[in-house]
Structure 1
């Protein structure tokens, strides 16, 4: 007797999420077809130019068969991220369905999937106008580095910086992520496993949903004022917050390391790097009230702190034990910094180097 496969999870209608996101995403900057083609070609060339300086600065080398960067528009970024989110989260939703005491009917699943699909699409539409580049871990697929052409053009215009320098500078950051996950073979699976495991615990099942919503309504106003890690931290239990802190520490390391590398490549490669950094940091502080509210709800302000805290960790460890000494962080999951060590780099040095 053949046991039927588990039914497709309908917590999120991913195709509806893609359609919603593409419909809601703001139009990019006004460019002619000639300007658009030239920008795509220049960004692609910048991603290739970034490879050697990043490898030499970080002393990490991507294997020769690591996929090159792809240059995408906003709707394509939405579609690719929806696919990755599906690969990451469908096993989580499947586990939740298995735990339900009573499975929802087909109509309820279809309606619920459309609702969460619309919410996911709206979130992706918001993010698609913000992200300059991303290394997509693509659980179950082929990881790849994505550079979002319209966002690069829009931001370089807003900042009034040299387009060639800015594009290369951003590519340095994103190329560092490509190197991190390809030169360190275990890192991708480790991150996917940790995030998926945490998500399994964080996504509320129907039996605990009411309690979660009550906790959210009580704590959300103060969390918005404080600018914490977003809704995720509010709904988490103390034990889940500890696990969330561990994942955040890894993200701080990755983002901080990429920020350090993109700046330390230096003016010999990017003449206006100091000017770009100053203008870019000013832009991070200058978001409007509604945008800042969304950033707090989504935990994006906490992500800004990841760049800062992680960069401090990388610089202090490197100053103490050199680049090769810092690179011991990539040896195994055990040598990754613990949450407290991100804020106390000397503790990591003492633990790992003795």
Structure 2
């Protein structure tokens, strides 16, 4: 259903190479990112109390095409249950299959190409056996130059956030399987009928509504889903808000101890997160990146509230079982989560 080779080819071309960097500067950036990831493991463990095995997931410092390839591989694994379900219900054949895979490949490539110039780092939990940590060197260099950050400080700051995600998945081994199971349930709800056409029409109506003062998000994720799918997506949103917010809290908790210019970095980076230009903002909205920014904010508020009230040990109960994960509603109401999970 997706021509992944075409997606990688288009995505790599759209992403570009990034900033011009001398060979010695590039070598230094790669070395500092690797060292920052290594150093962050102990810092995250000491702050959170989560214990992950050292070197349990490889660290890859990549360029933009390397990130595109890695994410195409991850998407192929992630979408496998959905693709299997859709092809079981309505197997594509002949010219429909050939043309359809090219169209979806081009669409995925366009998304990857846009994101490949934005992402600084990422933990890929779906790479067997324990996931892998990706750090996108040209983007790190581009952003540190753009906001005038101290390069060594900024690189460690990025590593702290991404290493927290590595610790989350390797210290909580059921997390990966839980996400897979939720995606499998989402696949069960998929129908191969006119969902794409209907979804595009709803997206366009929502975007027109925003231009006319409407309040819809305009996100493809929000607009294409049925009520059942939205319920599953709400559960996944709760998990992702927890993971992203927790990583932000760790960054802000550890940062002042080891990164002298962390306050300046945080202030400048928060401003940059808002996006620049009309096209950039539109693409962010369509791809759900506005919602992604809300996940950082809402998840961090949830984590800070629970830690303030129950301490880090109390908060860490969230990692004991999937039943302890907060829902989307509980992310917004941490006291409700504490009543449900910590009442005893």
TM class by smaller structure: over 0.9
What is the SS of the residue equivalent to 2:234? helix
Using the TM superposition, give the Cα deviation of residue 92 of structure 1 relative to its aligned residue in structure 2, in angstroms.
Answer: 1.3
Moved over 6 A (4+): none
Partner of 1:205: 192
- Are positions 1:46 and 2:32 aligned together? no
Q: Deviations over 1:244-287 (max 9, x none)?
A: 11110110000000000001003221111111111111111252
Which of 267, 270, 275 in structure 1 is aligned with 2:264? 275
Residue by residue, what CA displacement relative to the aligned partner does 1:295-315 show, whole Å, maximum 9, x if unpaired?
000000010000000000000
Q: Does 1:309 align with 2:298?
A: yes
CA-based RMSD of the aligned residues comes to 1.8
DSSP 3-state at the match of 2:133: strand
1:38-77 aligned at under 5 Å gives the runs: 38-77=28-67
Aligned equivalents of 1:119, 1:66: Cα separation in 2: 34
Q: In 2, distance between residues paired with 1:176 and 1:199?
A: 29
Which region of structure 1 is more displaced relative to structure 2, 222-231 or 65-74? 222-231
Which residue of 110, 115, 119 maps to 2:107? 119
1:300-344 deviation per Cα after TM superposition (whole angstroms, max 9, x unaligned): 001000000000000000000000000000010100012211011
| Alpha-carbon distance change, 231 to 119 in structure 1, aligned in 2, over 3 angstroms | same
What secondary structure, in the 3-state scheme, does the structure 1 residue paired with 2:189 have?
helix
Q: Is it true that 1:335 corresponds to 2:324 in the alignment? A: yes
**Residues 312 and 75 (structure 1), Cα distance of their counterparts in 2 relative to 1, 3 Å cut:** same
The residue number in structure 2 matching 1:4 is: none
* Residues 151-178 of structure 1: per-residue CA shift (max 9 Å, x gap): 1000000010111111101100001000
Cα shift readout 1:4-25 (whole Å, capped 9, x = no counterpart)? xxxxxxx100111111111221
Q: Are residue 159 (structure 1) and residue 147 (structure 2) matched?
A: yes
Q: Which runs of 5+ in 2 are unaligned?
A: none
Structure-1 separation of matches of 2:288 and 2:101: 24
C-alpha contact (below 8 Å) 1:229/1:300 kept by paired residues: no
CA distance in 2 between counterparts of 1:139 and 1:70 reads 12
Select between 188-197 and 239-248 the one with higher mean Cα deviation. 188-197
1:197 CA displacement: 2.8
Q: Secondary structure at the match of 1:206?
A: coil
| Deviation string, structure 1 residues 126-183 (Cα, Å, up to 9, x no partner) | 1110011000022555510111000100000001011111110110000100000000
More off after superposition, 307-316 vs 273-282: 273-282
Instruction: Tell me the distance in 2 between the aligned counterparts of 1:209 and 1:167.
Output: 40
Task: Tell me the distance in 1 between the aligned counterparts of 2:275 and 2:104.
Answer: 31
Q: CA, structure 1 residues 208+23, in 2 after alignment: closer, same or farther (shift >3 Å)?
A: closer
The 1:214–1:228 alpha-carbon spacing in structure 2 relative to 1, beyond 3 Å, is closer
Question: Counterparts in 2 of 1:1-354, with a 5 A limit?
Answer: 11-100=1-90, 103-138=91-126, 142-201=130-189, 204-222=191-209, 226=215, 228=217, 230-354=219-343
Q: What is the DSSP-based 3-state SS (H/G/I as helix, E as strand, rest coil) of the residue aligned with 1:268? A: helix
Q: Is the 2:56–2:130 Cα contact (8 Å) retained in structure 1? A: no
Distance 1:276 1:347 in 2: 33
Q: CA deviation at 1:217?
A: 3.6
8 Å Cα contact 1:251-1:306 kept in structure 2: yes
